[in-house]
Amino acid sequence: MNVLWFCVELPALGLEVCARRMLHEDRPAVLIEDNRVVARNAAALDSGVAIGCSLATAHSLCHRLEHSSRDITAERERLRFLADAAYRFSSSVSIHEPSAFLLEISGSLRLFGGLYSLKRSLISLLGELGHRATIGIAHTPLAALAFARAQENCELPRWPEGSEVKTQSLKSLRRISMRHTECDAATVERFSNMGIDTLGQVFTLPTTELGRRFGPRLLDYLDRLTGQRADPRILITPTASFSTELTFLQSISNKEALAFPMQRLAHDLCNWLIGRQLGAIRIAWRFAPFNSNATAMEVEFAQPQQNKQALLSISRLKLDVLDLPDEVLSLRLASVRLAPWQAKSSSLFARTEHAGHSPTELIDQFRARLGDGVCSGIAANDDHSPELGWKSTVPRLQTTNARTKGPAVMGTLSRPLWLFDKPKPVLRRNLTLLRGPERIDVGWWTTPNVYEPAHRDYFVARHADGSQCWTFIDRQGEWFVHGYFS
């Protein structure tokens, strides 16, 4: 069977998770465990902060240092998110804690254009998400993991055969140092004391002797490493909804500063959506202060949305009019309603289509800034009474009246272009009647007294001020203007 495992190892996951919470990425930062520095970024390295030094030493070495203690839960969540994102490359993704995940990609090679093209795509995806990854490729998961840790590249062709992968992997495994295997530190040290540093040396030793000295766990590991024993993996099932939280190192008190973390979360969401072939219809932001009630903000889109810029611009408009807590300490973005994504094909030589702006985005913008009820469409309504002759609709760009064949230039107009909300009383002496009457019985069937029909006689009239009106006289002999033939 042709099996090919990719192992994605994230050597700096802890630090990268910490960096996501920082507002200034270029500041020196260290990761702390038990009051000791366990990882530091390039800026901290430049200041001379060493791994293993105490937090106080680190602070004395560089005064703008940001520190954060290691958050295993956040790292686990992030790893899970990244594995989800990698799901687009293969359906067999398995997480190997603490900082790696594995993909079985033999079935995806053809689709992604060969081994190296796939590897590049994977690295650039992770880079976009803010992570540095090393990738190992081998015929077993554990060998791939060892290669990823040792940053060892197997010399494989673009379209490798199963047997080729196996021989190449076994050959390269011999060079791998014991430090990069799954063996614990004590075992590695015992091997080292025996003068054994690489796996190649271990392979030459008799199995029974190894078993007696190091126990069956080592033998089991070696068998799975070389593929002599099956190594089944628990595969992930992609999550059904998106929800990610960012807790900041310092609380944020102005909306501009929130833009940056919001961008990060939106980026993650869009990546997740693309991986799942979904579009967001409704998303929810949650801005939480340290210890009081969080403020929620839901944003809805007229069409499923996958574009980060669109998601963000609409969210920002809504944020502008939102009352936030004084200090926001954590930010959460969750998907509320999702819909299958249907990519639109746009014409190649579109003249009137403007890049990045679809008609529904305008509606989303209006709704986000001005409120839900501010936009409406109109439609003709089949009703006899003038007031009910039109209706307000949900704006949806469409071609409605198929009868319309361009402008009816010398046409006639039987109804006014402007209709008043309520008819306005008018003095008869200001009106010059031009045409009419047209009797319209207005809703007598809805009035309580059916014996008194509410009919109106409509006239086209010219008002003394020069406007052309649609006027009527009711049964009481009162004159009203109901609209303008503007």
Partner 1 sequence: MADLSAPERSVSSEALLAHPDLWRAGRVEPNSRAVSTGYSSLDGLLADRGWPKAGLIELLSPRIGIGELRLLGPALATLSVQEQRWITWINPPHIPYAPALAEIGIDVGKVLLVHPKTHEDALWSLEQAVKSGSCSVALAWLDESKLTTKDVRRFKLAARRGETLTVLFRSAIAVQRQSMAELRILMQPASASDRLSIEILKRRGGWPVERLALELAYRTTHMTRSDLRDQLALWRTKSLRSVGPLPPPRLLHDPHPTHVGP
Site of interaction with partner 1 (CB under 8 A) = 352-354, 357-359, 361-363, 365-366, 369-370, 374-381, 389-392, 395-401, 403-421, 434-436, 438, 458, 460, 462, 465-469, 483-486
Between 53 and 379, whose beta carbon lies closer to partner 1?
379
235 or 362: CB nearest partner 1: 362
Say how many C-beta atoms besides its own lie within 10 A of residue 26's C-beta.
Answer: 10
CB of 345 to partner 1, least distance (A): 14
| 375-384 b/e (C-beta count within 10 Å ≥ 16 → b) | beeeeeeeee
Minimum CB–partner distance for residue 85 and partner 1 (Å): 31
Contact 275, 87 (CB under 8 A): yes
> How far is the first Cα of the chain from the last one, in angstroms, to the nearest whole number?
78
Q: Residue 167 CB, nearest distance to partner 1 (Å)?
A: 58
Shortest gap between Cβ of 315 and partner 1 (angstroms)? 16
Q: Which string of DSSP letters, residue by residue, matches 141-197?
A: HHHHHHHHHHTPPP---SS--HHHHHHHHHHHHTT-BGGGSS--HHHHHHHHHTT--
How far is Cα 483 from Cα 209, in angstroms, rounded to an integer?
Answer: 102
56: number of CA atoms within 13 Å, CB side?
0
Q: What are the backbone angles phi and psi of residue 225, rounded to the nearest 5°?
A: -65, -40
Question: Is the CB of residue 195 less than 8 Å from the CB of residue 203?
Answer: no
Nearer of residues 428 and 435 to partner 1, judged by Cβ: 435
For residue 394, the minimal CB distance to partner 1 (Å) is 11
Does a cis peptide bond (omega within 30 degrees of 0) precede residue 437? yes
Strands 243-252 and 328-340: antiparallel
d(CA 7, CA 4): 10
Q: What element of type H or E holds 433?
A: strand 431-441
Q: Which is nearer to partner 1, 229 or 439 (CB)?
A: 439
Residue among 239 and 365 whose Cβ is closer to partner 1? 365
Least distance to partner 1, CB of residue 311, Å: 16
Cβ–Cβ under 8 Å, residues 270 and 311? yes
Least distance to partner 1 from the beta carbon of 437, Å? 8
Name the residue nearer to partner 1 (CB basis): 286 or 316. Answer: 316
Structure tokens at 415: 């109804």
Q: Count how many residues are written for the chain.
A: 486
User: Least distance (Å) from partner 1 to the CB of residue 343?
Assistant: 18
Nearer to partner 1 by C-beta: 214 or 458?
458
CB of 37 or CB of 460, closer to partner 1: 460
